[in-house]
Each structure stands twice: as structure tokens, then as C-alpha cells.
Structure 1
Amino acid sequence: GSVVDRALINGSSTVSGARLATARIPGADEGAPVSRVYGTARIGGTLIWATRFEEEATRERSGAKATGGSQTETFQYFANFAVGLCEGPIACVRRVWADGQEVDLTAIEMRVHVGDETQLPDPLIEAKQGEGKAPAYRGLAYVVLDRLPLEAFGNRIPLLQFEVVRPVGTLERQIRAVTIIPGATEHGYHTVQVTEKTAEGSARILNRNTMVAETDWQASLDELQSICPNLESVAVVVAWFGTDLRAGQCRILPGVEVETRRDESTVWSVAGVVRSNAHRVSLSGGGPAYGGTPGDASVLAAITDLKARGLKVFLYPFVMMDIAPGNGLADPYGQTEQASYPWRGRITCHPAPGLAGSADRTALARTQVEAFASGADGYRRMVLHYAGLAVSAGGVDGLVIGSELRGLTQIRDETGKFPFVEALVTLASDVRALVGPATALTYGADWSEYFGYHPQDGSGDVLFHLDPLWVSPHIDAVGIDNYMPLSDWRDEDLAAANPDGFRSCDDRAAMAAQIAAGEGFDWYYASEADRANRLRSPISDGLAGKPWVFRAKDLQGWWDNRHYNRVGGVESAASTAWLPGMKPIWFTELGCPAVDKGANQPNVFVD
């Protein structure tokens, strides 16, 4: 009787949830075709291996302890399987969709086998099949999903699609160095998630806009290294903002997108400047015209991560001009106001060279340049800050002390000297004192700047104005931002012969022939009207028979020869301190807009 009483009064029961009796695993049909991907494509896959679903039971007790209560038993199912994708080798799988919804790849375990001829069996497959009994699927790119939770998919393997990246050709494997631009992102370089509070109980991640990695930085670098497997060096661009094209009034400041962020998990700070005191980037189209300056914490994290990846690290301080439309600023070039968001190479003296009353070739030019370089918010502060940050990071492989400041390097004082070039020489010495001999230093000259200054004033002057910088013992290489033209293709060339032998706008062999020929080597356009009408003027040197002096593309001629300034059309008897071949040439930037006829004028950014 007591047994019956306990069962009725104090008994417990177990309630079981839904449970799979069987699970049918779809398989590959023998002879199913293997896809071949060119570039980037979203494709399905073929199930090539799977185990039985793993079942995991969970029991929860409810009700009063004294009365025994009841138990609820639930079941979860996990799938282990492999999906064949396409012919290998591929670079990476960029994204995955399950039943049409993108999958957060940080929430599951998925291993990608790229499909080369040396890949080994997957460890899970080998553990299940037995050592030496698992196929490696060489030549086939495939993924293995390890214990994929199936509850969200109705306890079945979902329909999967994959965005596969498979470079074709040889370019990607030849790339040894990459410059990360534009370098305007408050926390985009950070290797951990940075959040801000958006409301009570809610927050958003500032540096994660992808579902393939914990941060945008990790996603970008992982993909970069998979696409460019022979990558050796990365230049990390860090941008501050210039406020004026007039050198004497221009301040160089770290900037932010917004003035406040609530409960920022990593507080933004650059060179001791906090968000509330930083330059607020101007607005354009309803949002910030630029991202903010990368926070110092994120730059340090990026340097550490790049080193851990086995890459050489170059720091690249960079100036972006934050001058909005309707600025009302006096224009050194004589317009009603300064151009909006101009190139940093247009910073110059006021008025600019060639205009009435120009400060060029006067003592005022030196005064204006010194204000730009050495003022409280001057250029030196930015570069020296990053030299110190490089030391804090345990050192970097290189540092670029500036780039494309052509409008400044060409300014002369009343004695004919170039005060900003002198300032760069001094800056290189000061940076060297901070970073030591192991860090390579250079200046990234514009491709129209590196080889000399030819003032268009009828004087006949030819001045190797950057030679004092190139020969400085603290400068390790001649840096050039190389955006030289490689074609002169017009739509009408489809019906008529192109004068340079191009058969199409992307004629690779013809472009290769233009590296040391064509525009900037054999000829030039004297005006935009001449360019429109294809009226070419030959490049020659009637004075000394040295056409390389005027050829931006003639790197070999410039590098192989001594340099003699010409003043008033007369060549000096003594050369500059440059000696043939004394420093290597580095392309600190090299590129071309990926648009129709982009190779005609790679220096023009059409956006």
C-alpha cells in the first residue's frame, strides 16, 4: 500500500520532446559533375561524406522537490558532413547561406580545404573512418562542417550555398606588398570587437560588418592572405585631416566621425587627443565625409596582428583634406573659395606660384611652410607621433614620412631654396633618432614630383629639388606613388587603329610596352584640348641631349645618371649629391581605377 501511495502522491514523471526516429542523409550521385569557378561565384555543393546525426539529450526537472515533480527531456541534433564545392585550388570561401539565410561563420565550426594537390585528409573524417582510410579529395575544394546544430533547420541538413573565390591568372600570386587605404576608420583596425551603447540594454558592434569573422580587420586580412599567398609586406595607412590649402593656415588634426559615443568599449584616443577635443569630420550626403582617424589602440593591435601573421609592417601617416563645399576659405589658386575635398598635393603657399603677388620665392613662403610643418597643429606632430607609436609596438619594418605633398615641396624662398624639402630632411633625421636603424624610412613622392621641378614660368629652370631628401643618410629608398599612364585608348579605336598598337582597352602586351614608352616618356599632352584631340608633343632635350630629365616614366635614366640643375636654361657645372643607383626605388603606391579606360589616367579617381 505504501508503494502505491508514494507513486500517487510523491511520484514523478518524464515528458519527452520530439525525437528523430531516423534521419535520411542525402548523398552524391556517382559521376556528378564538379563545378569550375572563375573569379568569385555563389554556388551550391554536393554532399560527399556524412555521419549519422549526433543526438544530445537534456533533462530539466520542474515542480516541488518534495513531491518529486516532473522531468522534461529534450533532444538536439548535430550533423557532421562534408560538401564538395568545385575544382581546386580556390583561395577561400567568403560567405555561406543556409536555406537562403547567411550563416554567421563565427558561430559554427567549418573547415575549408582549398583543393590543392597536397592537401591532407580532414581530421574529423580520418577520426571517423580510421587512420589511413580517409580520402584527401585532392584537386577538389570542399568544406567540413563539424557538429552543425540542426534545430534551426527542422533537424535536417539545410540547403547550403557558398561564395567561392578562385583567382585566375598569375597576378595574385605575384603580389608581395599591399597598402591598406584609405586609413580612415576609428576602430576598423582593431582586432577585438568595439561596441557602443545605443539604448538601455542594447549595443552595436562598431567594427564588425561581416559574418565571416569576429572583426572586419580579421575578415579582411584573412581574405587578403588567402588571395595573395605570397604577400610579404603591408603598409598601414593612418589618416589625419588637413583643414586648409594655404600652408600657413592649414592644421593637421586627428578626426572623428561623431563627437560622442556612449559607453565605447575601447575609448578612442589619438596622440593624447580624446573624442570630445578632436576634429569633427565634415558631413557629406547626410553622413561623415570620411571615417575617423584610427585610434591608437587599434593601430597597435593591427601592428601586433600583422607581425603574428608573418608580415612586414610599414606605417604610413597620411593627410586627407577635409574641406567641405561652401567653405568660404580664401583660395591660393585664385578661385572664389577652395575646392571641396581636394588632393593633399594642392597645399601650397598663398597666393600660389604663378599668380600675381605669390608668396613663392619670397621670405613669406618659408614662414608659411614653417607654420605648416612645425606649428602646434603642424605636420611634424603627426609623423613624430607615429614614430613613437612604432616604438611602442616593438618596432616596425618601415615608416613613410609623407607622400604626394607636391605643392609644398616645390615652394621656394627668396634665396631659391626649398624650405619644405629641408623640413622633410630634418624630419627624417628626427624620426630616425626615435625608431633606430632597423626601421626603413622613405617619402612617397608623387610620380610627377620625384624626378624634379620644372616651373612653367618661362625661366628654363630644371631643378632636382628632392635630391637633398633622397641623398639623406636617414632615407633608405626613393619612394614613388606610381600612377603613370599605361594607355591612351579611345572608343573610336575599335573602328580605327590605335596609334600605340592596342587591339583593345585591356591589351596586356600593349600596356606592358607602355611602361617605358608612350605618354610621359616619348610624348606628352600640352593641354586638355590637345588630349581631347590627341595632339601629342614629343619629349626632347635640345640643350644637353638628356630627355630623361623630362620623362616621368624614365626611372632608369633618372636613377642611372648624375643630376645637374639648370637655372635660366643653363646647366650647372657641378651635379647634385645624387650618385647613380645610390638608393633603391620603391613604389609606395601602385594602382589603377578598375573602370573603363582607367589605365589612361590612373591618377584620376573618378569617384
Structure 2
Amino acid sequence: MATILLQAAGAALGSVFGPVGAVLGRAAGALAGSVVDRSIINGMTTISGARLGDARIPGADEGTAITRAYGTVRIGGTLIWATRFEEEVRVERQGGKASGPRVETFRYYANFALGICEGEIACVRRVWADGREIDLTGVEMRLHPGTDDQLPDPLIEAKQGAGKAPAYRGLAYAVFERFPLDGYGNRIPVIQFEVLRPVGRLERAIRAVTIIPGSSEHGYDSSVVTEKTGAGASRLINRNVFHASSDWRASIDELQALCPNLKRVALVVSWFGTDLRAGHCRIVPGVETPVRDDESRPWSVSGIARGSAMVVSRNDGGPAYGGTPSDASVVAAIADLKARGLKVYLYPFVMMDIPAGNALPNPYGGAGQPAYPWRGRITSYPAPGLPDSADQTAAARAQVEAFCGATDAGDFSVSGTSVTSAAADEGYRRLVLHYALLADAAGGVDGFIIGSELRGLTQLRDGAGAFPFVEQLIGLAGDVRAILGAGTKLTYGADWSEYFGYHPADGSSEVHYNLDPLWASADIDAVGIDNYMPLSDWRDGDFSAGNPDGFALAEDADAMRAMVASGEGYDWYYADDADRRDRVRTTITDGLSGKPWVYRYKDIANWWEQAHRNRVGGAEQTMPTAWVPASKPVWFTELGCPAIDKGANQPNVFTDPKSSETAVPYFSNGARCDAMQRRFLEAQYAFWQGPDAPEGVDPDHMFVWTWDARPAPAFPENTDLWSDGGNWQTGHWLNGRLGASTAADVIAAILADHGFEVGDTRLVSGDLGGYVQSEQASARDVLEPLMAALQIDAVEDGATLRFRSRMKQASAARPISVLADIDRQPRFEEIRGHDSDFGGEAILDHLNPVNAYERATTRSRRVMPANDRVLRLSVPGVMHDGAAASAVEDALRDAPQYPVFAFAGGDRHRAGRCHCIRRRGAR
């Protein structure tokens, strides 16, 4: 229309200039009219994008089995509820102009619930949609763990109506609200969950735990901290997972979900020692790098900015340690832990940053100090026992005073939650007082540990025979008490070889209760022990020779429990490495006063309830020390065991390639063994939390070493970011192990779920992170593949069905005296199955050791039908005195047509399923 009108108008106007002007006017009018028409027409046009016509929602079939999960497993969800898809329409003008056509785009959202598995589960760690991990901070997902009292989901109830929504009690399920479908072809994707369902006893036994790494610049911050990495690029420093808003939240959420009885945490915060010589050692905070661009929360510790802080040494191309946690992150961590209902114990900690190849004088002799050593090696220069040692001289006191420094609380300024030091020295006192003031500024803490495992210092004596570092600790405790008040519990975490006294290795036979003045101090509330005492003495040879301490297998938790207050360190000791190798045990005795507990580091009960008397010059002193018997509780400020083969032999060692302290336990092959760690801790809890536990140790203050604020699986998998990830494999970490399981725990849980209460799994060995029962099946069908894969036998013992790992028990081998052989044929094959699998009569009589010999004469052999081509014998495995061999010989003589026989020899082959050694190549 506009084209016609403007054509006419243009022609009229152009006619003033004659015919040519009329033609030009008409053309110009037509052109202008066309533009107007297109604008009007396009403005009324709507372009619609792809729209979902029919939404097909998959669902569960009637009678679908509910999955059972054991340990940590990945499970696909089953749709149990959904609404119609929600359609969101967005209208925009093409090209951004009002005259452009309207474009409609459609986006769809789904509300649905997925059944996961039978409850109760602890938590879900990760979620995948069509194989891609979902960022759970970007979707609304509510998890119902499957308790017996869980309530209906609010969305389901809102849609179905009040009182009409099922609670799905006993079923763990997840509800997704307005889940965006545009990335999945406008359909509900296949969703899988990483489920953590503990089935052992350990998780519920844990009441206290330490939190590390202690060296992570922003790792304790619950809020995300970023840095600029390039033009237009940035990095989230402390978020390396998709299932939480920060690493801290992911880690602590999982810890609380796994350990429902957790009440206390000890937050480790590390500064770095620079020298093993007490008089030269600086204790300072450190950073990984001197510069971070546009750090959203700048790093600062005690008023020291990043650019002024010590940069930790380099190892293998990266920082040897993470940096000291920023003060802001420590304050944030304390606040978050309190908000979660946990009691917080602040734990200042010293790590030794002494790199390999240094030229520092070694206090123990020689040039060059060992790389990244234990803080317990800090001592006088020269060390005790060496010529011209400073020990027992005035120089020892001077070196200790130099180590501690002269910082007082007045050398700090506090503004809000910021604590700044004006102290000139870099001594140990500055570290402890800084964190006491920071804890106070953060609103206070429930407990404070003034130090730990500084054994090389607590055992130093001055010229008068006094222990100057112990005096320093007493004064430091008083200073911390003045800052934090009477409501905060204080202690020192002594090494397990340190807490009970000092026995100089100089042949004097003296005994000094050097820490008693500290334990007796009015400012100390508990005796702290870092407990890494051995609970076993297992060797590979014990499989065939037996174990002298009654261990049935390496991870025998019952035997370990018995060793908590017996065995090495209680009844006997090894005088040297040769004696340990040959198992020459020396009984712990006391020829002076008849008090063997004086030398027993495991005898906590007697140490706690007895008066202590020093022994000097071959005589016990008349006056006791300041320790008042049974006056204060004992805390385990650390308690742990590495997840390594034979870890209970030597729980205090760890593997760390960069450290001079790296080692594996006595007689260990170095292989990872999560079950060892679990059984060790279960034994400790069974003893100290049991009804017959001796007095003294407070079971509520047993801080397990350790839980890492770096969450699984980012730690330990991301070794490019965290170089100590490889140490996790056999280390003391609980991350990635709590919530997982062992073969014994899984079998016990399966039996319990099927109502079988007379199963015994104590002789089952080995790790099993998780196991799934996805179909309806009997316990036997569920267990069969597991037992076959892990070589586990089941043995009927009266009314009890005993499970045991093959070739893992401490029992002498029992030889088979007679075994027929055929040339050029395999010597034997092993067949395992039920009696009915072989036809005819039973292959084995499951005879008990008590009546085996008595019944042997009447049930010595049974011959199968000829078509089975197998000579079948029932020979009791316990008969190894010739009777079994005679039975075999008689059978072979009476039935020579069967060049095959079956034999059950030794306890290892007596099983609830039949065991057959069959001659191959029978006619």
C-alpha cells in the first residue's frame, strides 16, 4: 500500500520538472514505499524455533528391582516420578531492531525424581548426565538418603497434594527441580550417581578427626578465591570439583555425612622450620609463589603480605609444600565448623622446609641436613650423644631460647579478625601466640594444641639437668591461657615415644619424666599423645609357620585389639634390627623397683594412675614428680595407620619420595592396603570405646589422622595441582577410604541384608571399594562372583558359616602324601562347585576336626558311577598322620580303572563348597 501511495505522490511532485521528473519521482516514491511496506510486514512476522511436540518420559517398569549398594559405587537412577515438561518461551527481535521479525525460542525444564538404591546412604558425591559430570551448583537437586523416617519431598507434595505424596522411606532418591533439558536433546538424560554407603563399623565410631593439609593458601576458605591467569582468563584457586561451591565445602560436607557421630575437629595450620639446629631454626609462614595477579582475597598471615613472605622450596619442578593458610581462610574455617555444630581445636604445626642438596651443618654429624625431615629431629648443635654436644650444657638452654624467641602477646595488634605481628624475631612463640590471638579474634575455639612431637627439644637438658624447652612450653601454655581464657582446653601433642618419659641412650639407665611438669601445669587440661604405637608383628612367613601373637591373618582386627595393651612396647621389645629380623624378643622388666610399666610406652593405664619418680645415679628418687596420678584425661591428639601392607607393624612411617623420612613398615612389600588401616582403627576404637577399657583415655578425644580439606576425587587424582597426590595411595588419609569398604564388610552386610545372622567374616582379607546388587537374587547368588574373584571360601562350622580368604591365613601347610600322575598330562586341575554339580554322591564329607578321625574308617572312599569318570574320595583334611594317605592308596587299589581322585587337604581346602583335585585325561 505504501508503495502505491508514494509512487503517485512522487510522480506528482516530479511532474513539476516535466515528464522526466515525473518518472524519477515515481521511482523514488516506489523505493521509499517498498521500505515502509517491508518494515510493517516484517514487524508483524513471527519466526518460531524448534518446539517439543510430544515429551516421552521414561519410567520404571512394575517390579523393577531396587539396587543395593555396598561401599562407594556408581549407580544409574530409575525414574519414579515426573511432571509435564515446563516450557519457557523467549521472544526477541531479529537484529535487535524494533522493525525486525520476532523470533520465538523454546526451552524446556523437567521436574523428576530418580530412585537410586536401597537406603540409608551417607551421601552422593558426583552426578553424571549422559556421561558428563553435572555442576551441582547450577541445578536444584535434593537428595533423600533413604531413612526410615524421611518425609515427602516438598515439590512432589506440592504437585500431588498434601498427604498424597509418598515419602519413599527406605529408598534413597534424588529430586531435580526445573532441570534444563536443552543440552540433552530436550529429554531427561541418563543420570548416574556416585553413592557412598558405609557398611563397616569405623565411620560411626569416629568422634574426632584432624583436618589437613595445613599448607594450602586458600584451601580452608569456604568461599571461592580467584586469580587472574592471563588476558581475560582467571582460575578458581579453591574450587576443583563440580559437586560443591568450594573444595572446603565439598570435603567437610562429605566428612560429616560419612561420620554421623563426629563432634570434634583439630584444624592443622602450618608454618615452616628452616633448620634442624635449634639455635638457627626460623619458624615462618610461607607461600607457593610470590605473585598472584588480581587475587580476589589477597593472602596475608600475621600481617605479612605475599610479596614479603618466604617462598617454599621447589621440588621436582613445583612447590615442595602448599603455602600457609591465609589468616582470613582460617577464620572462615573456624566459623564454618562452628556453624556445623562441631567443636574446633586449633593445631599450630611445624613442617620442615629443608630441601635436598642443602649445605647446612647437620647436628647429627656431617655436612648437609636430611631433606624435608620430621620436626622431631630439631635438636641442639651438636646433638646429644655426639662429641662436644651442647646437651647438658648452658649452650642447650641458649639454643632453645633462640628457637622459641621472645615474642609476647603485646607484640601483636588485633583489629577485627586481623592479627598483625610487630615482633622482630621469628621464633616458635610467635607462631603459637599468633594463632591463639587469631582464634580469639574468630570468636574463640574449644581447644588449642600448643605444639606436637618436638621430641628432640623436650629431651634437651641444660647444665643443671633441667629441661629448658619443657619450661618454655609451660610458659607458653600460660600465655595462651591468658588469651583464650578458661573455657578453652589446652594440651601438647607428645609423640608416643616421648610422652611417658626420657630414657637417655648413654648407658646410665636413668629415667626422667621430663614432661611431667608440663602435664601437671594448671594451664594444661589433658595429656596429649600422638598415638602411632604398633599393633602387630606380621611377616609373610606367618602364612605357613603361624604367627606367635595369635594373628589369623595380617588384618586380624581382634588380634590387633588384643595388642593395644600387650605385645611390642608392653610385654617385650626388639633390642636391635637383627633381633627384629630373627624375632628374638626381650621381655620388658625392671630390676630396680619392680615397675616394668616405666619402660612400657603402651602401658598408658599404669603410667596414668601411678606416681612417677625419676631415676638418677642408679636409684629411684624418694620424691615423686609433679604429676598427680589420674588427675587429667589422656587425649590422642593424633591416631592413625597408613593404608599399606603390614601398616600395623609400624604405623608411624609414611611414604613421601621427597622426604628423608620416607619408609614402609617393617617387612612390608609397600602395596596399598586400605583394609589394614580400617582394621587398625577399628581395633583401637573397640578397645578404648569398649566397656572394659581402662580408665584414663578419653574416647571422645581420639583425633584420627587424617581428613584432607582437598576433596576426593580431585585429591589425589589431580597431581598436576597437588604433587603429594601420589602419597595418598599408601598414606594415612581417610579421604576416599571412609565410605568405601572391604571384602569382609561387604560380605557381612550382604548376609545381614538377607537376614542371615550366623556368618563370620573375620578371616576375610582384602580391599573392596564397593559392590552392587542390581537384581533380585539370593545371598548365595550375590556372593558367588565376589567369592570367586577374591578367592574366598565358605566353611560350615556347626551353625556358623565361616568365610575366609584362601592363602591368607596363618596356618602351616598340610602335605598331600599321595597324588597319582600320568605322563604328558596336566598334573591336576581344581574344580569348585556344589555337590550336585558333579553328580553321584558328595565329593566331600564336611567333617569337623573333633570327629574326623573317628569317622574316617567308615567314610574313607566313595566311587562314582563309571560314566562320571572320576574316583571320588572323602578324606578329612585334618588327617595328616598317614590315615589320609592310606585311604587314598586303598581306594586306588580297589578301583584301578579310575586314574582320577579328589582330595581335601588341610584347612585351606575344607570349604562349604566342594573342592576337587581331579586327574585330567581320564578314560
TM-score (norm 2): 0.65
Q: Which of 9, 33, 48 is the aligned partner of 1:16? A: 48
Partner Cα separation in structure 2 for residue 65 and residue 374 of structure 1: 73
Structure 1 residues 201-240: aligned runs within 5 Å: 201-240=232-271
Partner Cα separation in structure 2 for residue 396 and residue 33 of structure 1: 49
Shift of 1:336: 3.3
Q: Which of 440, 462, 469 is the aligned partner of 1:391? A: 440
2:88 matched residue in structure 1: 56
Shift of 1:334: 1.0
- Amino acid corresponding to residue 325 of structure 1 in structure 2: A
Shift of 1:250: 0.4
Is 1:482 aligned with 2:512? no
2:124 matched residue in structure 1: 93
| Cα-to-partner distance string for 1:147-197 (whole Å, 9 max, x where unaligned) | 110111111111111110011122111211110123110000001111110
Aligned-partner SS, 2:55: coil
Partner Cα separation in structure 1 for residue 540 and residue 428 of structure 2: 44
Aligned-partner SS, 1:38: strand
| Cα-to-partner distance string for 1:64-105 (whole Å, 9 max, x where unaligned) | 867x43110000001111111111111100001111111111
- Amino acid corresponding to residue 293 of structure 1 in structure 2: T
1:468 matched residue in structure 2: 517
Q: Which of 599, 606, 611 is the aligned partner of 1:557? A: 606
Partner Cα separation in structure 1 for residue 332 and residue 441 of structure 2: 11
Shift of 1:276: 1.1
Aligned-partner SS, 2:474: helix
Is 1:579 aligned with 2:611? no
1:598 matched residue in structure 2: 647
Report the CA distance shift for 1:10/1:234 in structure 2 as closer, same or farther (over 3 A): same
Partner Cα separation in structure 2 for residue 65 and residue 498 of structure 1: 87
Partner Cα separation in structure 1 for residue 389 and residue 310 of structure 2: 30
Is 1:120 aligned with 2:145? no
Is 1:169 aligned with 2:218? no
Shift of 1:528: 2.1
Is 1:336 aligned with 2:370? no
1:455 matched residue in structure 2: 504
Aligned-partner SS, 1:495: helix
Is 1:369 aligned with 2:418? no
1:355 matched residue in structure 2: 386
1:293 matched residue in structure 2: 324
Report the CA distance shift for 1:335/1:524 in structure 2 as closer, same or farther (over 3 A): farther
- Amino acid corresponding to residue 79 of structure 2 in structure 1: L
Shift of 1:9: 5.0
- Amino acid corresponding to residue 109 of structure 2 in structure 1: F
Partner Cα separation in structure 2 for residue 39 and residue 569 of structure 1: 57
Partner Cα separation in structure 1 for residue 515 and residue 4 of structure 2: 102
Structure 1 residues 270-281: aligned runs within 5 Å: 270-281=301-312
1:501 matched residue in structure 2: 550
Partner Cα separation in structure 2 for residue 55 and residue 3 of structure 1: 41
Partner Cα separation in structure 2 for residue 194 and residue 56 of structure 1: 34
Q: Which range moves more in the overlay, 331-340 or 85-94?
A: 331-340
| Cα-to-partner distance string for 1:128-159 (whole Å, 9 max, x where unaligned) | 11111111111111111111101111111111
- Amino acid corresponding to residue 120 of structure 2 in structure 1: P
Aligned-partner SS, 1:307: helix
Structure 1 residues 123-138: aligned runs within 5 Å: 123-138=154-169
Rg larger for: 2
TM-score (norm 1): 0.98
| Structure 1 segments unaligned to the other structure (5+ residues) | none
1:438 matched residue in structure 2: 487
Sequence identity (%): 67
The alignment of Structure 1 onto Structure 2 pairs a total of residues equal to 606
2:191 matched residue in structure 1: 160
Partner Cα separation in structure 2 for residue 572 and residue 348 of structure 1: 28
Partner Cα separation in structure 1 for residue 392 and residue 284 of structure 2: 28
Partner Cα separation in structure 2 for residue 275 and residue 63 of structure 1: 49
Is 1:43 aligned with 2:75? yes
| Cα-to-partner distance string for 1:392-436 (whole Å, 9 max, x where unaligned) | 001110110000000000000000000000000000011111111
Is 1:531 aligned with 2:580? yes
| Cα-to-partner distance string for 1:19-52 (whole Å, 9 max, x where unaligned) | 0001110100112122221111112121111111
Q: Which runs of 4+ in 1 moved over 2 A?
A: 1-9, 62-66
Is 1:26 aligned with 2:47? no
Partner Cα separation in structure 2 for residue 435 and residue 293 of structure 1: 22
Aligned-partner SS, 1:10: helix
Partner Cα separation in structure 1 for residue 194 and residue 366 of structure 2: 50
- Amino acid corresponding to residue 165 of structure 1 in structure 2: L
Partner Cα separation in structure 1 for residue 38 and residue 522 of structure 2: 95
Q: Which of 245, 248, 261 is the aligned partner of 2:276? A: 245
Q: Which range moves more in the overlay, 45-54 or 359-368?
A: 45-54
Aligned-partner SS, 1:124: helix
Partner Cα separation in structure 1 for residue 64 and residue 240 of structure 2: 36
Aligned-partner SS, 1:248: helix
Report the CA distance shift for 1:369/1:3 in structure 2 as closer, same or farther (over 3 A): same
- Amino acid corresponding to residue 591 of structure 1 in structure 2: G
Question: Which structure shows the bigger proportion of residues in helix conformation?
Answer: 2
1:110 matched residue in structure 2: 141
Aligned-partner SS, 2:137: coil
Shift of 1:536: 1.4
